[in-house]
Amino acid sequence: MAQLLVRNLENSVKERLQRRARRHGRSMEEEVRDILRAAVKEEKKSSAGGLGTELAALFPKEGPDLQIEELRGFEIKPPNFDE
C-alpha cells in the first residue's frame, strides 16, 4: 500500500481531524483515509457529464423532437405573502 506524508498542516486542521476521528470512533489516520476515499469517489461521479447529460438521463425516451406545450393566455398573478 502507498504512503502519503502531509507537511505544513495547520494545527487547527489537525485538531479538527482528531475530533472528527474521535466522533467516528477511529484513529486519525483511518479518518483521513476515509476522507480521501470519499473525495475521490465524488470526483469520479461528477466527471460523468455535465448538466445536459444529467437532464437527458432523466428523460431517456424523449428526444430532441419533444414538443412542450406553450402556456399562453394565463393571467400572471404575483404571490401574496400576507396570507
Higher pLDDT, 40 or 19: 19
* Confidence band of 48 (pLDDT split at 50, 70, 90): low
Q: What is the pLDDT of residue 59?
A: 78
Q: Is the pLDDT confidence value at 31 over 80?
A: yes
Q: What predicted TM-score, i.e. pTM, was given to this entire model?
A: 0.51
> Could you please report the per-residue DSSP string of the chain?
-------S--HHHHHHHHHHHHHHTS-HHHHHHHHHHHHHHHHHHHTT--HHHHHHHH-TT--TT-------SPPP----TT-
